Structure 1
Amino acid sequence: MDILRRNNVTVTGNPHGPVVVLAHGFGCDQNMWRLTVPALADTYKVVLFDYVGAGRSDPSAFREERYASLDGYARDVVEVCEALDLRGATFVGHSVSAMVGVLAAREAPERIGALVMVAPSPRYLDDEGYRGGFDARDIDELLGSLESNYLGWSAAMAPVIMGNPERPELGEELTHSFCATDPDMARVFARTTFLSDSREDLATVTVPTLVLECSEDAIAPRGVGAYVHAAIPGSRLVTLDATGHCPHLSAPNATNAALTGFLADLR
């Protein structure tokens, strides 16, 4: 299989610069990074891709048994890195992709040399001594609504996820992105995302790591970022003055400043 075609891989920026891989979250695609790429392109080689089922990926590559766990998505990331022979790349993962990056870095440490976790959550479901932001009833209702009426769920949830109600165009963009995702594949990715528990995996991270949280986020509330930061020795936590779960779209200047500052320190 052509891995680069499977994941609609795009390579841009400085061909001789350090490598940055940008990984989108659930319901999104690589276009969500369009405000980030210009801040990186002069200095860094930028790799973007779509997970299978998203964007312009190859839908024929979808296998439910593979993508029923985050390990399947991490394997895709590793295969993309291998296909491009990337070494020591900085993996920037939004939302669930932050945890995909943790798994990929553990599987192929020679490929991923640093992590940037944008609005991460290792577990969305509340647990004893841990607040993920959702109780079991919330998750059941969310997944039930998604599975019974994906387009309706998308229209209702996207503005909540994006936040920034005074800028409705942002919620509309995310709604369009959700609706462009194959519903059957989205259902699998949603269950994988919202039922995952990657808390123990955080202790395996040994590479330089930046955790970016938003000051207000309905999906990964304040406190989750601090939990991730505390679980990864030597990590850096930055709380962005941003609302919603997609700061690379709602607050690109602040997000890019934190990202490029971290990348500069790695050089």
Structure 2
Amino acid sequence: MGSRLLYGAHVRANGIRQHYLRYGGQGRPLLIVPGITSPAITWGFVAERLAERFDTYVLDVRGRGLSEASPTLDYGLDAMAADVAAFAEALDLRGYALVGHSMGARIGIRVSRHHGERLGCLAMVDPPVSGPGRRRYPSNLAWYLDSMRQARRGITVEQMRVFCPSWTEEQLRLRAEWLHTCDERAIVTTFDGFHQDDIQSDLPFVKVPSLLMVAGRGGVVAPEDQAEFTRLLPGLLTVQVPDAGHMIPWDDEAGFHAGLHSFLGTNLAAA
């Protein structure tokens, strides 16, 4: 079967150039917002599958991939959330599903609180629950920076395997090709924001059907965090993918799609 990728394009929204990939083109709109160092193209294998039922868009978050980056750009959570809202407005996406992974899940929560007019539902995939007075995000900033600096010099698949030992050859090759497009200032700001932004305070203001997907081996969302999300967001659907680490679709693609289907099948069945 051929690819469901229709095209890549740029749109000016929220005052910056935003790059995205579009897959499928039919059905209810679905927007994937990736994690801290994941350009849009690295989520292509997920988008291909979702494009069977949804008009699927994958966003290059500012400072990643082919979207705008600069020394003076605001890389904070509010700016990234405003980008998503402006992107949806520019493309006239209405009632769209937002599937956010890690950083993207935190962006989605902030979108839902402040820019929820066009949002139809929110899937939060293993969001960092760190914040003021909370335990730190388990990943180390140096892990990101070391791999990015090697990528800017030129990194081989085998060198990338040191950072992502469980990934397939294809996954490693794609990351080695695209990681250099991640702006270090964006990654540092986002990582700091994981510990400075109180995302839990946004949860009571989320008014759309919502899913929390938890990686069983990720160490990011603990049972007590899941309980807190459920308390702050009544009606929240929770799904655990037991054998996956934080990069859930990379570790257990079938489990990821099964968990997502249990949510999207209920809330986005109608095109």
TM-score, with structure 2 as normaliser: 0.78
Does 1:94 pair with 2:101? Answer: yes
The within-5 A match list for 1:120-135 is 120-123=127-130, 127=134, 131=135
For 2:183, the equivalent position in structure 1 comes to: 182
Cα deviation for residue 152 of structure 1 reads 6.6
The CA RMSD over aligned residues, in Å, is: 3.2
Cα deviation for residue 174 of structure 1 reads 5.0
Structure 2: gaps of 5 or more residues: 1-10
2:85 to 75, 78, 81: 78
Note closer, same or farther for the CA distance 1:257–1:57 as it changes in structure 2 (3 Å cut): same
Q: Please give the per-residue CA displacement for 1:211-241, whole angstroms capped at 9, x wherever unaligned.
A: 1001111444454334323321101010102
Q: Please give the per-residue CA displacement for 1:70-110, whole angstroms capped at 9, x wherever unaligned.
A: 11110000010010111111100000211211111222222
CA distance in 2, matches of 1:220, 1:173: 27
Contact 2:97 2:120 in 1 (8 A): yes
Note closer, same or farther for the CA distance 1:21–1:222 as it changes in structure 2 (3 Å cut): same
For 1:235, the equivalent position in structure 2 comes to: 236
CA distance in 1, matches of 2:147, 2:28: 43
Contact 1:35 1:248 in 2 (8 A): no
Contact 1:226 1:237 in 2 (8 A): no
For 2:206, the equivalent position in structure 1 comes to: 205
| Counterpart residue identity of residue 151, structure 1 | R
CA distance in 1, matches of 2:168, 2:96: 35
* Range with greater deviation from structure 2 (17-26 or 238-247): 238-247
For 1:52, the equivalent position in structure 2 comes to: 62
TM-score, with structure 1 as normaliser: 0.79
Residue aligned with 2:216, SS: strand
Contact 2:212 2:238 in 1 (8 A): yes
Note closer, same or farther for the CA distance 1:149–1:234 as it changes in structure 2 (3 Å cut): closer
CA distance in 1, matches of 2:18, 2:56: 15
Contact 1:159 1:175 in 2 (8 A): no
Does 1:244 pair with 2:251? Answer: no
CA distance in 1, matches of 2:144, 2:23: 35
| Counterpart residue identity of residue 35, structure 1 | F
Residue aligned with 2:111, SS: helix
Note closer, same or farther for the CA distance 1:108–1:145 as it changes in structure 2 (3 Å cut): closer
Structure 1: gaps of 5 or more residues: none
Identity of aligned residues (%): 25
| Counterpart residue identity of residue 13, structure 1 | G
For 2:25, the equivalent position in structure 1 comes to: 14
CA distance in 2, matches of 1:260, 1:161: 30
Does 1:23 pair with 2:33? Answer: yes
Cα deviation for residue 249 of structure 1 reads 1.6
Contact 2:128 2:221 in 1 (8 A): yes
Note closer, same or farther for the CA distance 1:153–1:12 as it changes in structure 2 (3 Å cut): closer
For 1:151, the equivalent position in structure 2 comes to: 149
CA distance in 2, matches of 1:49, 1:174: 16
For 2:262, the equivalent position in structure 1 comes to: 261
Q: Please give the per-residue CA displacement for 1:122-165, whole angstroms capped at 9, x wherever unaligned.
A: 325663xxx5555xxxx9xx45786799637999xx87986xx4
Contact 1:35 1:252 in 2 (8 A): no
Q: Would you tell me which structure has more helix in proportion to its own residues?
A: 1
Cα deviation for residue 27 of structure 1 reads 1.0
| Counterpart residue identity of residue 235, structure 1 | L
Contact 2:151 2:180 in 1 (8 A): no
Q: Please give the per-residue CA displacement for 1:171-196, whole angstroms capped at 9, x wherever unaligned.
A: 77656654441223322232223432
For 1:3, the equivalent position in structure 2 comes to: 13
Residue aligned with 1:210, SS: strand
The within-5 A match list for 1:206-225 is 206-225=207-226
